[in-house]
Structure 1
Amino acid sequence: MTLRDIKRGWLRSLDIIGDIAVIEVKPEFDEIKHEIAEKILKEAKYIKVVVEKKSPVSGEHRVMDLEWLTGERRFTTIHREYGCIFKLDISKVYFTPRLSTERMRIARMVRAGEVIVNMFAGIGTYSIIIAKRALEKPSKIYSIDINPHAYNYALENVKINKVEDIVIPILGDAKEVITSRLMGVADRVLMPYPELALKYLEYAIMALKDSGGIIHAYDFIKYMKTEDPRNKMKERYEEKLKEFNVEYEILDIRRTGEVAPREYRMVIDIKILNKNGFKRF
């Protein structure tokens, strides 16, 4: 039996983070979840720990409630992505391997000398991949997160990946960090926190230079059979942008993953053409 067979038969989801398998067991198989976990260890020798996701990501620090099932008794691991190394504790910080392709997409868009503000940076995943893998190197990436554990791992990961000259981890609430020290500095802003992106869009615009720049905002979009999720995403952000009285162009809207039936995680790439007349609220 392969890992794919195990997932298809018994699991609602399976994510591999470093050498840890994070699983959601289908409710009807809850009584045999430990046996399922043992099968995963047996079939995938590179997996050393199996934990069960007991709740969705929640709270200001974006963490999951996890239950250890089998293997080594730990939640810490080292995850590798595109040649970058990330140390983390999955019980204390937010991380998803499902955005790997999206992180590289953003890295490939960056141009030489850009200043980037990552408003919800976590352990530094987007920031470090951009610093290491962008075809044209940015000059600075301000990497903000409110979770002290994520911030400390970001400091460590920046050193491990030798990008201290580019990536600057900052502990704090993105809106407060931007208004106090990062107004008008950025060519590009990342907002990889769907629950806060629309609410914090104003601060993303504030972080951009007066000449404008690009914002990548992520959000969850629920839709009916007759609806186009891309149109819903566009309408949601255009309505908000009109409040700020800025000239803008929608460059792209794409799905980055399905999070539930008829619900996508999506990203919208917005180019702010200039901030003349920008209204703060």
Structure 2
Amino acid sequence: MDFKSRLKGKVPDEVLEGISGRFDVVGDIAVLSLPECAEPYAGCIAGAVCDSRKNVRTVLNKRSVLSGDFRTFDFDIICGGGTETVHREYGFSYRFDLKDSFFTGRLSSERMRVVSLVKKGESVFVPFAGVGPFAVPAAKRGGNVIAMEMNRKACGYMRENVRLNSVCESLDVICGDVRSCGSLFGSLLESASGNISETTPGCLFDRIIAPAPYGMDDILALLSGILKSGGYIHFYSFSPENQVEDFIGFAESCGLEVESYSACGNVAPGISRWVFDMRSL
């Protein structure tokens, strides 16, 4: 029985109609987005969620859209403990605090698709790395990975996840802003633990995996400059479908050939997350 069926007779029908039947589960935390009219029944709703998903220990109500450079949400705790959890997918474990770090479980299969392309010994750069869900499996695949994230709290969790998943020898974490391109090369070279070979400006990485935030498409020009000739970049962008061709044109102006692209989830009405697999010419 799904959780909405459990609410029949407990929540007015007109309120129940406005409640989404879907919710995200991250680790042992369920994340709801309740309409205002449903908030008086939040405790009852949380109970139904826990009854329908036995692994859920905490239920949160999302109070805001993604905001700020750190891409975090505001939450109300409806029931359970705090907002820290351990999320497991495809044999990897990630510890983080949802109030301080961005994480979505909806990209789990997409992450594995991209990571499966990483070849042993490749130099890999992961900007906007969050708590490490792209970087950690890329290192486990045999890539020599540098991951960059500007959110200090997320970086702290990513370093913990590096240890938790036993990839300390092949993954370096840099806490910094990718947009600070003036110091980018120096930071990368100074922080790498001897993993990146033949590093020269403009010719650094075999592969870049860039889960860029909304509105950051212009960073592609910078990233294309640190990609080896023939190297690959997997770039995530947010737009309506009718703007995809514009992005492809921009990528071509950056010296990249788009080999394939696909939608990997809707984030708002008419707005999709797109992944573009591109090769440097």
Contact 1:127/1:167 (CA < 8 Å) preserved in 2? yes
Residue of structure 2 in register with 1:191 after alignment: 210
The equivalent position to 1:48 in structure 2, one of 50, 57, 76, is 57
Distance 1:164 1:6 in 2: 46
Deviation (angstroms), 1:13: 4.5
The equivalent position to 2:167 in structure 1, one of 155, 163, 168, is 163
Distance 1:180 1:190 in 2: 20
User: Are 2:105 and 1:97 aligned?
Assistant: yes
Letter in 2 for 1:178: L
Residue of structure 2 in register with 1:179 after alignment: 185
User: Are 2:247 and 1:239 aligned?
Assistant: no
Percent identity of the aligned residues? Answer: 31
Report the secondary structure of 1:265's partner residue: strand
> 1:221-240 maps to which residues of 2 (within 5 A)?
221-222=239-240, 229=241, 232-239=243-250
Distance 1:51 1:148 in 2: 23
Contact 1:117/1:190 (CA < 8 Å) preserved in 2? yes
Residue of structure 1 in register with 2:136 after alignment: 128
- Any unmatched runs of 5+ in structure 2? 8-15, 189-200
The equivalent position to 1:117 in structure 2, one of 125, 135, 143, is 125
The equivalent position to 1:213 in structure 2, one of 227, 231, 234, is 231
Report the secondary structure of 2:128's partner residue: coil
TM-score, length basis structure 2: 0.85
Distance 2:268 2:71 in 1: 18
Residue of structure 1 in register with 2:279 after alignment: 271
Contact 2:3/2:21 (CA < 8 Å) preserved in 1? no
Report the secondary structure of 1:124's partner residue: coil
Residue of structure 2 in register with 1:276 after alignment: none
Moved more, 83-92 or 233-242: 233-242
Report the secondary structure of 1:232's partner residue: helix
Letter in 1 for 2:232: I
The Cα offsets for residues 211-232 of structure 1, whole Å up to 9 and x where unpaired, read as 241111111112xxxxxx2x62
Contact 2:248/2:258 (CA < 8 Å) preserved in 1? no
How many residues matched?
A: 257
Report the secondary structure of 1:88's partner residue: strand
Contact 1:178/1:203 (CA < 8 Å) preserved in 2? no
User: Are 2:48 and 1:39 aligned?
Assistant: yes
TM-score, length basis structure 1: 0.85
Deviation (angstroms), 1:58: 1.2
Letter in 2 for 1:169: V
- Cα distance change of structure 1 residues 4 and 38 upon mapping to structure 2, 3 Å threshold: closer
- Any unmatched runs of 5+ in structure 1? 223-228, 274-281
What RMSD over aligned residues (CA atoms) do the two structures have, in Å? Answer: 2.0
The Cα offsets for residues 131-153 of structure 1, whole Å up to 9 and x where unpaired, read as 23x3xx22x11000000001000
Deviation (angstroms), 1:55: 0.7
Deviation (angstroms), 1:179: 3.5
